[in-house]
């Protein structure tokens, strides 16, 4: 029976009382499917210490359980009811349920691949659902064969091959399917790599991104031949792509290559406190194109990886997180310099962030115009917490101790002589 005839026969069925049997069967299938779905959800309820595979299966079952069970029930009930009544309504329900099942399955795989946080997922889900329902509508109306024939009539040459619009759409669909499978597999393997012990974090990121890129390439190489597109016909675009990378995309390509270099040589790691091109912050994320720094004010700076490879970088926590901080304090001439130096050291030792080893030390830095400049040097092990707070605490303690000891911090002094 053609799809167009299905609508006519369904219209005739709706005018007969016997259509109530089909409606009743559909309602019964829905009730049974809903009960089975509830039972499965209770059986596989979230547990406190469930494995990732169980959690993934539970989420997938929640997504596709109801349409899958109902489709199976309708396919089972249709030949049974066909022995006594027409089943045009059930025949119409099959492609609708199948399309709903496909939409939910595809979106489940996509959301798992991108962890359900990509902002374009909502727009993609709507577009994919619209496309799937459009294909089902064309099938039901009997216009799908004519639509395919019209697409096949649009031909144009590609190298030595002749391709048509329908073949291109098939190729896009095949690539998308294989791509989603590749992304899903890549996401699973990436999570396992990121949880693996004994491997440096940067190497985990490198392996995960290389594996995902390899799976995407394999998906394209597998998807296109599946629909009969000869890959040699695309060789004409290889030179154009190379020219495009060499001219307009060289900076982008340089950033990606630099990203892999940073991840491989481990010169910068997540958690490092670095300074580059007057930008200072903690590395919070390293991608293949840019590195994200979080500054002391909370602002996030996106630094291209090319800059991190070509510029001089100050990495305060590369091999040792200990950092020396110095502060200078002037005292008036005539003050007890040795006592002032003891106060500097004691004020630093009183702060919990200051390390005892190496110990704080005070020095006579210079004999200035208005007084003697003393310098206090101390070490901290948490530079990512900022140097200004600890410097402020030490200076405040010095000021209080100087006032108690009667040590004067001099004002700038100038001597003016008037000649007759």
Higher pLDDT, 250 or 286: 286
Please state whether beta strands 323-331 and 314-315 pair in parallel, antiparallel, or not at all (unpaired). Answer: unpaired
Confidence of residue 58 (pLDDT cuts 50, 70, 90): low
Q: What is the mean pLDDT of residues 250-260?
A: 76
Where in the sequence is the domain holding 248, given as residue range(s)?
Answer: 235-319
319, 343, 377: which is the final residue of a domain?
A: 319
Q: Are residues 333 and 378 in the same domain?
A: yes
The residues that bridge with 380 in the sheet, in sequence order, are 323, 354
Q: Is residue 159 part of a domain?
A: no
Considering the domain boundaries, does residue 37 fall inside one? yes
pLDDT, tens digit (0-9, with 9 covering 90-100), for 112-169 = 666 555 566 667 667 777 777 777 777 666 666 777 787 777 777 665 666 777 777 7
Asked whether the beta carbons of 113 and 183 are under 8 A apart, the reply is yes
Q: What is the predicted pLDDT for the residue at 236?
A: 54
Same domain, yes or no: 361 and 239: no
Q: Do residues 54 and 44 touch, judged by C-beta distance below 8 A? A: yes
In this predicted structure, which of 246-250, 303-307, 403-407 has the lowest mean pLDDT?
A: 246-250
Apex CA 1: angle with CA 82 and CA 83, to 5°? Answer: 10
Residue 232 gets which letter from DSSP? G
pLDDT-based confidence at residue 75 (cuts at 50, 70, 90): confident
Q: Looking at the structure, do residues 343 and 285 belong to the same domain, yes or no?
A: no
Whether 152 is covered by a domain: the verdict is no
Position 115 in a domain: yes
- For position 300, which CATH number holds? 2.30.30.60
Residue 265 CB-density burial (10 A; 0-12 exposed, 13-18 middle, 19+ buried): exposed
Nearest-angstrom CA–CA distance, 186 and 163: 32
How much is the pLDDT for 411? 80
Residue 349: predicted pLDDT: 93
Whole-number average pLDDT of the chain: 76
**How confident is the model at residue 1, as a pLDDT?**
47
On whether the pTM is more than 0.75, the answer is no
In a domain, 96, yes or no: yes
Q: Which of 94, 113, 142 is the last residue of a domain?
A: 142
Per-residue pLDDT averaged across 104-119, rounded?
Answer: 66
Are 276 and 346 part of one and the same domain?
no
Q: Which of 175-189, 292-306, 396-410 has the lowest mean pLDDT?
A: 175-189
What does 149-183 look like in DSSP terms, one character per residue? Answer: HHHHT-EEEETTEEEEHHHHHHHHHHHHHHHHHHH
| Gyration radius from the chain CA atoms | 36
Average pLDDT over residues 336-359: 92
* CATH code where residue 365 lies: 3.30.70.100
Q: Is residue 241 part of a domain?
A: yes
Q: Judge contact between 306 and 255, C-beta under 8 A.
A: yes
Query: Is the model more confident about 118 or about 294?
Result: 294
The reply to whether 365 falls in a domain is: yes
- The gap from C-alpha 19 to its chain's centroid, in whole angstroms, comes to 51
Domain termination residue (choose one: 258, 290, 319): 319
Q: Which two tokens stand for residue 322?
A: 């200990």
Same-domain pairing of 93 and 30: yes
Give the separation between CA 184 and CA 111, rounded to whole angstroms.
9
- Residues 310, 330 within the same domain: no
Q: Are residues 138 and 257 in the same domain?
A: no
pLDDT at 237 over 70: no
Note the pLDDT tens digit of each residue in 172-220.
Answer: 777 777 777 777 776 666 666 666 665 556 566 666 667 777 777 777 7
Mean pLDDT over residues 265-289, rounded?
Answer: 83
pLDDT value, residue 7 = 59
Are 285 and 302 contained in the same domain? Answer: yes
45/126 same-domain check: yes
Q: What is the pLDDT of residue 36?
A: 81
340 phi and psi angles, rounded to 5 deg: -65, -40
DSSP string, 319-372: S---EEEEEEEEE-TTS-HHHHHHHHHHHHHTSTTB-SSSPPEEEEEEE-SSSE
Q: Is it the case that residue 297 has pLDDT exceeding 50?
A: yes
Same domain (yes/no): 261, 333: no
- Please state, for a pLDDT cut of 70, what percent of the chain lies above it: 71
Q: pLDDT tier at 409 (50, 70, 90 boundaries)? A: confident
In a domain, 111, yes or no: yes
Q: Which residues pair with 378 in a beta bridge?
A: 325
The pLDDT of residue 361 is: 94
The SS3 assignment for 269 reads coil
pLDDT tens digits, 1-17: 444 555 566 666 666 67
For the chain, how many structural domains are there in total?
3
Same structural domain, 335 and 268: no
Distance of alpha carbon 176 from its chain centroid, rounded?
20
Domain match, 354 and 395 both: yes
């Amino acid at each position: 029976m053609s799809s167009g005839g299905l609508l006519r026969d369904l219209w005739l069925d709706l005018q007969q009382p016997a259509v109530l049997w089909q409606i009743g069967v559909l309602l019964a299938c829905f009730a049974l499917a809903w009960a089975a779905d509830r039972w499965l959800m209770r059986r596989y309820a979230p547990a406190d210490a469930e494995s990732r595979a169980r959690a993934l299966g539970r989420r997938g079952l929640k997504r596709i359980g109801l349409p899958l069970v109902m489709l199976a029930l309708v396919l089972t009930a249709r030949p049974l009811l066909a022995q006594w009544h027409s089943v045009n309504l059930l025949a119409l329900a099959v492609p609708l349920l199948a399309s709903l099942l496909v939409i939910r399955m595809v979106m489940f795989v996509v959301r798992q691949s991108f962890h359900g946080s990509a902002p374009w997922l909502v727009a993609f889900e709507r577009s994919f659902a619209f496309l799937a329902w459009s294909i089902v509508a064309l099938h039901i109306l009997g216009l799908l064969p004519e639509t395919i024939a019209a697409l096949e009539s649009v031909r144009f040459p590609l190298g030595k091959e002749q391709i048509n619009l329908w073949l291109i759409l098939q190729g896009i669909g095949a690539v998308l399917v294989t791509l989603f499978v590749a992304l899903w597999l890549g996401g699973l393997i990436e999570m396992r790599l990121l949880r693996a012990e004994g491997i440096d974090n940067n190497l985990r990121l490198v392996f995960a991104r290389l594996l995902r890129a390899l799976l995407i390439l394999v998906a394209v190489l597998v998807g296109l031949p599946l629909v009969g597109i000869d890959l040699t016909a695309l060789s004409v675009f290889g030179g154009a792509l190379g020219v495009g990378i060499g001219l307009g995309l060289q900076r982008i390509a340089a950033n990606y290559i630099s990203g892999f270099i940073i991840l491989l040589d481990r010169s910068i790691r997540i958690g490092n406190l670095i300074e580059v091109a007057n930008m200072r912050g903690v590395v919070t994320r390293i991608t293949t194109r840019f590195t994200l720094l979080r500054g002391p004010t909370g602002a996030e700076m996106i630094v291209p990886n090319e800059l991190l490879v070509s510029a001089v970088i100050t990495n305060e926590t590369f091999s040792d997180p200990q950092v020396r901080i110095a502060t200078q304090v002037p005292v008036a001439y005539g003050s007890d310099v040795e006592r002032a130096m003891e106060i500097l050291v004691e004020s630093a030792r009183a702060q919990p962030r200051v390390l005892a080893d190496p110990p704080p030390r005070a020095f006579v830095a210079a004999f200035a115009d208005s007084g003697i400049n003393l310098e206090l040097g101390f070490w901290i092990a948490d530079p990512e917490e900022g140097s200004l707070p600890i410097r402020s605490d030490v200076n405040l303690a010095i000021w209080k101790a100087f006032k108690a000891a009667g040590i004067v911090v001099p004002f700038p002094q100038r001597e003016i002589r008037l000649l007759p």
